[in-house]
């Protein structure tokens, strides 16, 4: 069985703090998804997040909105 990754290019098995590229700006896919989640959760969208910060924020907002719970 293969599980489809909700964010192409992300590594959900590794802690974002350990990502080699974690301090780079978030990807376009992350930004788009994070904007959607932020809107749904009525939370502010921070476009200056790094890849690692965006990943953590996405997880927080997924929990709040009930999206992506796996």
Q: What is the mean pLDDT of residues 36-63?
A: 96
d(CA 57, CA 38): 9
d(CA 24, CA 27): 9
H, E, C per residue of 8-57: CCCCCCCCHHHCCCCCCECCHHHHHHHHHHHHHHCCCCCCCCEHHHHHHH
- Is 50 exceeded by the pLDDT of residue 2? no
Please tell me whether residue 63 adopts helix, strand or coil conformation.
helix
- Is 90 exceeded by the pLDDT of residue 8? no
For residue 24, what pLDDT is reported? Answer: 94
Parse the chain into domains and list their residue ranges: 26-39+47-70
| 10 against 51, higher pLDDT | 51
**Residue 58 main-chain phi, psi, to 5 deg:** -60, -45
């Amino acid at each position: 069985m293969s599980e489809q990754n909700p964010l192409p290019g992300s590594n959900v098995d590794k802690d974002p703090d350990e990502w080699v590229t974690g301090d780079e700006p978030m990807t376009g896919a992350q930004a788009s998804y994070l904007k959607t989640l932020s809107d749904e959760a009525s939370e502010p969208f921070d476009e200056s997040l790094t890849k690692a910060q965006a990943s953590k924020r996405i997880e927080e907002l997924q929990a709040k909105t009930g999206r992506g719970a796996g």
